[in-house]
Structure 1
Amino acid sequence: MKFFYYSLIFFSCFLSAKFNAQAPNDTIANGMAFKLGSKLTLKLVKNTQNSFDYKVIKYSEFSEQFKIFETEKLFDKSPEKETIEVIFGIGYYREGKEDKDYQTVMLSRNNYSFPLQFDAEIKIWNKEEFERTSVTPLNPGTRHTELWPYKIDFLALINFRNYSYQPK
């Protein structure tokens, strides 16, 4: 487990430097962290643990604040097949006139033909460590929204895998 966290820290630092240049990254990893204000496209790569590593094939900074329920225009009209698109930014409810209207948001779209599950960790602005957060599975061909009512500096996406519903 220590190896995973050291790898995550290494890739976060490495990617942060690489992303500032706004260039796609050739690194393939099981988990990477992205700063608030990121728009990226991921390509999955099958690994030996019957899950997926991934690489970033497109990256740009994303400073636009957006209305949370009006996000369709933020995604490409013709997405590249077999990719995952992610926007990690700030959204708002109503007209965004009050502080309580703003949320940290992760928007995603699964352009694969099968459902995916993944793990996520966040680094909140006033804490030193990443902490696990819950995320919903990504159904094929659909957009997803995750919301947090506080500022998050970094989001780590980890361990993508096929998803199949397991009733409890």
Structure 2
Amino acid sequence: MIGYSQELPTKPANGYTFPIGSKFTIELHPIDSTKFDYSIIKYEPFQELVDTWENDSIFKENGQKGTIEFCFCLSTSGDSDEEKEKNMKILLLMKNRTEHTLTYNSDIQTEVNGEFKETSNAGTFPGAKGTEMWPYMIHQIGLNGFKKMK
């Protein structure tokens, strides 16, 4: 499912896909004692080039409890244009405003209209900001299978 083409909030589902240049907020919906579906409650295009290491200002300090905010974007670091070009990365930034430590599946599309391939991630922790990083282009990311970490 493509999350950004639907009215908000979306119906709870196991997962949605998001294009590079997306900032979105999801709300978890328990389906049993450990697994969650989620709905997208906020979505906006995000075309800023962020600093790979200094990006705490992406998310507001106080957000809606019980949600997870994401920013799927381009980033770079360095002083010169040459350094910045060489250090270009794809980031998935997240701020977990739930009380749960969560695992989830992430699938990435590295070629336009290509197949999605599973990629590893570190999960997300209550109250924490997390970062996933890739050194190659990703056109879309799918997030699904949210569940409490054992």
Q: Same fold (TM over 0.5)?
A: yes
Cα root mean square deviation, aligned: 1.6
* Offset of residue 76 of structure 1: 1.5
Aligned ranges 1:67-146 → 2 under 5 Å? 67-95=51-79, 97-98=81-82, 99-125=85-111, 128-146=114-132
- Per-residue Cα deviation, 1:37-58 (whole angstroms, up to 9, x for no partner): 0001100001148400000011
Is residue 62 of structure 1 aligned with residue 22 of structure 2? no
Partner amino acid for 1:28? Answer: P
TM-score computed with the length of structure 2 as normaliser: 0.91
Distance 1:79 1:16 in 2: 21
Which is helix-richer, 1 or 2?
1
Partner amino acid for 1:26? Answer: T
The match for 1:153 is: 139
- Per-residue Cα deviation, 1:107-161 (whole angstroms, up to 9, x for no partner): 0011111211101000003571000000002111000111111111100001000
Aligned ranges 1:26-65 → 2 under 5 Å? 26-48=10-32, 50-65=34-49
Contact 1:65 1:90 in 2 (8 A): yes
Partner amino acid for 1:110? Answer: N
Distance 1:26 1:101 in 2: 35
TM-score computed with the length of structure 1 as normaliser: 0.82
- Percent same amino acid at aligned positions? 30
Q: Which runs of 4+ in 1 moved over 4 A?
A: none
Q: Number of aligned residue pairs: give it.
A: 148
* Offset of residue 68 of structure 1: 1.1
- Name the CA shift for 1:27/1:68 in 2 (closer, same or farther; >3 Å): same
Q: Which has the higher contact order (CA 8 A, sep 6+)?
A: 2
